[in-house]
Amino acid sequence: MAILFLAILFPFICAALVSLLHKRLRRIAHLGWFILPIPLIIFLFLIQYIPQIAEGKTLIHTYKWIPSFHINFTTYLDGLSMIFGLLITGVGSLVILYSIFYLSTKESLHHFYCYLLLFMGAMLGVVFSDNLMVLYTFWELTSVSSFLLIAFWHHRKASRAGAKKAMMITVFGGLSMLAGFLMLYVAADTFSIRGIVATLDIVSQHALFIPALICILLGAFTKSAQFPFHIWLPDAMEAPTPVSAYLHSATMVKAGIYLVARFSPIFGGEAIWFWLVSGIGLITLFWGSFNAVRQIDLKALLAYSTISQLGLIMSLFGLGSVGHYYGYADSTLLYTQASFAALFHLINHSTFKGALFMMVGIVDHEAGTRDIRRLGGLMALMPITFTIAVIGSFSMAGLPPFNGFLSKEMFFAAVLAIRDVEAFSIADIGLLFPMVAWVASIFTFVYSMILISRTFLGRFQPERLDKKPHEAPFGMLISPIILCVLVVGIFLFPNLIGHYLLQPAMASIYPSFPSISELTPHISAWHGFNMELVMTIGVVIIGTVLYKTLKSWQPLYRLFSQRYTFNAYYNQALSFAESGSTKLTNRYMTGNLTHYFIYIYVFFIALIAGYFIWSDAMVLRVTRDAAVESHELILVFVMMFAALWIVFAKGRVTAMLLNGVLGYSIAFFFVIFRAPDLALTQLVVESVTTALFLLCFKYLPDLMPEQKQRKARWSHVTISILVGATVTLVGLAVVHYERFESIATYFNDAYELAGGSNIVNTILGDFRAFDTMLEVVVLLIAGLGVYTLTKLKPRKGEADNEN
Amino acid sequence: MKINDVILRTVVKAVVFIILTLGVYLFFAGHHAPGGGFIGGLVLASAIVLLYLAYDIETVHNGMPFDFKKVAAFGVLLATGTAAGSLFFDKPFLTQAYTYVEVPIFGEKGLSTVTLFEAGVALTVVGVVVTIILSISEDE
């Protein structure tokens, strides 16, 4: 299905168009109205495939990209990617609608929407790609676009710092994931995820299998803000609220979860996978909810709550991986339900957390602050916003009649079931699972209550607000209302989602199971008076008590010293790395050009001459050499004369002209040896560089005789002679070097292979076109570098305007 | 001291056209004879540099009101664009296509997407060389 490829490409094309056309479009209406149809179209396009996917079909299409390296652009649509695709485009549409009213037209909207579209395309690319390298590319692109979006208000220092932190941590994880992907490639000899699943028996025996697992999990954990990498998410809240609602709660942070779900058929049976995913998930769940209670900024509270909920979903996938260990059996169904609950909660979390973020955005927009110490009593002033907050928070706390209740109950059922598993030595600490889950749920309940009561209940304090708060415009309320309708709707008709979305996604997570319809439990709101319900009732009772007595136990948080937080460690590590690398770099970057040349030449001699001597390739025989003609000898003497004279030249211009003599003589050699292309290039390059030198010399002082010590001088002479000798000897030796296969056949058949009879050009434009393309890019970067270095430096006396 | 450069200017006026023609010829000759995008671009750039040497920046800029940074960027876009273009025809990245067409008067001629790729290379070379030389010479 080639059209899926277009669905990924579509946002990118639109992003380019937005940057080109924004001036014209802005005059007509808010730019967001032109962006809104883009995710909507993709959303509707995806929806029409739901029935097919629900029947168990998958759509796949391959574009050959770099087949020689097994890198192909394979798009793959199955149940799992369908859920994510719908989330990305669905929440995307709502967020864009919301942003139209949230962001004023005075902001640089074209940047905002351009980055947002880039992100959307990248995210679709992540979930629709089957090829690991393509997936990785899009993965890093989501980090980059997230960086740009967090730093959207880049005049604020906190925005830039938050963006940098998010980038550092997620890209660090991304790079380790790349290493993991490469290890998997070594083990499986394919970059295709389906290919790896198909050859799992061989792959899982490979020595690199476990290291690959850990590296890939690092990528997933950093992206999904799992403990202890969660520290970037609260700082990322400096982004505009639509971005927080979209990237940092509904989509990007779920990319790590997607990765875990996608790879659980591959790694699912391993004990270390189970312990890492479910263990880290549970720790994150607890730590996030525990820390959310102490926040005073509404967005920070939601950030920690997101961290905690991501941990919940992550741990559920970990518990579900037990199903892979046992294989298909009736008893397994107890454990696969954990994965089912994870998928279900994934959707539910996106609905209620999206609504909550938008609600906080509205409060921030209309009341001018997100500080809960200054807010309160907004219920009467903002009744609709209050309703949204209640629905979202109750769903988050796991109360009926909202969708969060259903998935929370299933979560309790899963942690209760895991006590009895006999694999992975779970039995020893099996009781810890339900206990941690229960305690974390109590904290979740507490912060959900804080969110509602501190904002909307209590005493209204108009004197502490900068603005006079009032209900938001209707347009801003549409998106959260739609999400709230979904929150209630999913509670009422959960099996609709269960059948059409979750069941096919279960088939992607457990591809080896023959019958998938049994994996789908019937979700019901009332399932008897069982342990799960008791736990929920306990959460409500103890949660209420804890909330009422909040003042008496909140000082507990002060016991945690600020010096030992993960943020402090991160900052220390960062400043240590900075000062350490500065010290190291300053040791050899002396600013003295002569030193740099010494490094380069010594390295060159060691590497090239060293290799030739080490491998016995330094063979000097004259049998194959052509006879030396007299005019060649004359040229050689001219060059030797010029080269020696340069060393003793008094002025820069003289030295440059002598250097020109050398260059033109080389061009002559090219002519003699019948290489007209090279001769032409050499001549023009020589002319242009001479012009460049002339320009540069204008700024340099007169050449002064260098004051050097005798020792330094002799070491320089030695290095120069060694370099000359290396080049000469290697030049003579390569004639006899026959360890590589000859590539002459390419050049003999150039006309058939590349349609050109000029060999040099077929090399540049066809055989080695990749090199040429990258060289062109490097050339551009170099040109821009020279331009920015000379043009954009601050004038003397002008302040450094970075801040 | 005012430099008398009447001779230089007069010569340059004539020579620039010859160099430019040579550059264009080299660019198109590339496929079967010496030449190609890189060398063609370099020759074109050297012609422009020669103009800058003989005349002042203002005069040349009036004659050629291009931002050479953009020329270079466009060149890179063209080169990478033709490289990626093959993906749309279900062919690996960087696949080049060529065909022969019968053109009236000129006879049979080859048409190739390599020419587009090479045009990108040439434009980048022109843009970057002129950008570098201009930014260094303008820096006071």
Say whether A765 and B118 touch across the interface (CB within 8 A). Answer: yes
pLDDT band with cut points at 50, 70 and 90 for residue B113: confident
Q: Are A47 and A86 in contact (CB under 8 A)?
A: yes
What's the Cα-to-Cα distance from A193 to each of A17, A131, A327, rounded to whole Å?
Answer: 33, 6, 20
pLDDT band with cut points at 50, 70 and 90 for residue A797: low
- The whole-angstrom distance between A796's CA and the closest CA on chain B is 12
**Closest to A109 measured CA to CA, from A244, A242, A250, A249:** A242
Residue B35 near chain A (CB below 8 Å): yes
Helices (H) and strands (E) in chain B, counts: 5, 2
Beta carbons within 10 angstroms of residue A694's beta carbon: 14
Say whether A769 and B49 touch across the interface (CB within 8 A). Answer: no
Nearest C-alpha in A relative to B19:
A684
* Measured distance CA(B31)–CA(A70) in Å, rounded: 30
pLDDT tens sequence across A356-365 = 999 999 988 8
Instruction: State what percent of residues in chain B have pLDDT above 90.
Output: 9
pLDDT of residue B99 exceeding 70: no
- The whole-angstrom distance between A780's CA and the closest CA on chain B is 6
Measured between CB atoms, which of B26, B92, B128 is closest to A780? B128
pLDDT band with cut points at 50, 70 and 90 for residue A701: confident
Instruction: Find chain A residues with C-beta within 8 A of B121's C-beta.
Output: 764, 772, 776
What DSSP string runs through A716-765?
Answer: HHHHHHHHHHHHHHHHHHGGG--SSPP-HHHHHTHHHHHS-S-HHHHIII
Task: Over range A240-267, report the average pLDDT.
Answer: 89
**Closest to A488 measured CA to CA, from A299, A311, A343, A355:** A355
Q: What pLDDT does A727 receive? A: 92
pLDDT band with cut points at 50, 70 and 90 for residue A566: confident
Residue B73 near chain A (CB below 8 Å): yes
pLDDT band with cut points at 50, 70 and 90 for residue A706: low
Nearest C-alpha in B relative to A774:
B80
At residue A590, φ and ψ (nearest 5 deg) are -90, -10
pLDDT tens sequence across A393-422 = 999 988 888 888 888 888 888 888 887 777
What's the Cα-to-Cα distance from A212 to each of A191, A215, A508, A724, B64, rounded to whole Å?
Answer: 13, 5, 21, 46, 56
Average pLDDT value for chain A: 85
- The whole-angstrom distance between A110's CA and the closest CA on chain B is 21
Q: What pLDDT does A142 receive? A: 93
**Closest to A256 measured CA to CA, from A202, A186, A322, A180:** A180
Per-residue tokens: B36: 């190609």
Q: Which domain holds residue A624?
A: 594-740
pLDDT tens sequence across A725-774 = 999 888 888 877 777 777 777 777 777 776 677 777 778 777 788 888 89
pLDDT of residue B54 exceeding 60: yes
Task: Over range A493-521, report the average pLDDT.
Answer: 80
> Would you say residue A532 lies in a domain?
no
Instruction: Find chain A residues with C-beta within 8 A of B35's C-beta.
Output: 677, 680, 758, 761
Residue B112 near chain A (CB below 8 Å): yes
Nearest C-alpha in A relative to B85:
A65
Task: Over range A532-538, report the average pLDDT.
Answer: 85
> Would you say residue A732 lies in a domain?
yes
Residue A794 near chain B (CB below 8 Å): no
Q: What pLDDT does A90 receive? A: 92
Say whether A773 and B131 touch across the interface (CB within 8 A). Answer: no
Q: CA A540 from chain center: how many Å?
A: 38
pLDDT of residue A569 exceeding 90: no
Nearest C-alpha in A relative to B35:
A677
A773, A781, A793: best to mutate for the B interface, most B CBs within 10 A = A773
> Would you say residue A673 lies in a domain?
yes
pLDDT band with cut points at 50, 70 and 90 for residue B98: low
**Closest to A398 measured CA to CA, from A539, A542, A560:** A539
Say whether A764 and B94 touch across the interface (CB within 8 A). Answer: no
Residue B110 near chain A (CB below 8 Å): yes
Nearest C-alpha in A relative to B130:
A783
> Would you say residue A40 lies in a domain?
no
Nearest C-alpha in B relative to A63:
B90
Instruction: Find chain B residues with C-beta within 8 A of A74's C-beta.
Output: none
Q: Beta partners for B107?
A: B103
Residue B32 near chain A (CB below 8 Å): yes
CATH code, A669? 1.20.120
pLDDT band with cut points at 50, 70 and 90 for residue B34: confident
Domain count, chain A: 1
* Measured distance CA(A470)–CA(A107) in Å, rounded: 23
Name residues whose C-beta falls within 8 Å of residue A473's C-beta, 6 or more positions apart in sequence.
A101
User: Worst-scoring range by mean pLDDT, A143-147, A661-665, A683-687, B106-110?
Assistant: B106-110
pLDDT of residue A803 exceeding 50: no
* Measured distance CA(A63)–CA(A5) in Å, rounded: 9
Q: What pLDDT does A700 receive? A: 75
pLDDT band with cut points at 50, 70 and 90 for residue B1: very low
Residue A782 near chain B (CB below 8 Å): yes
Task: Over range B48-72, report the average pLDDT.
Answer: 84
pLDDT of residue A798 exceeding 60: no
pLDDT tens sequence across A204-215 = 888 888 999 999
**Closest to B29 measured CA to CA, from B17, B15, B16, B43:** B43
For B44, counting Cβ atoms within 10 Å of its Cβ (0-12 exposed, 13-18 middle, 19+ buried), the class is buried
Residue A765 near chain B (CB below 8 Å): yes
Q: What pLDDT does A458 receive? A: 79
* Measured distance CA(A463)–CA(A141) in Å, rounded: 45
pTM (predicted TM-score): 0.78
Residue B3 near chain A (CB below 8 Å): no
* Measured distance CA(A292)–CA(A301) in Å, rounded: 5
- The whole-angstrom distance between B47's CA and the closest CA on chain A is 10
Side-chain-facing half-sphere of A736: CA atoms under 13 Å: 15
> Would you say residue A685 lies in a domain?
yes
Residue A20 near chain B (CB below 8 Å): no
Q: Beta partners for B110?
A: B100
User: Worst-scoring range by mean pLDDT, A80-94, A657-671, B103-117?
Assistant: B103-117
Residue B139 near chain A (CB below 8 Å): yes
Instruction: State what percent of residues in chain B have pLDDT above 70.
Output: 78
> Would you say residue A548 lies in a domain?
no
Q: What ipTM does this complex have? A: 0.88
Beta carbons within 10 angstroms of residue A691's beta carbon: 18
pLDDT tens sequence across A363-394 = 888 888 888 888 878 888 888 889 999 999 99
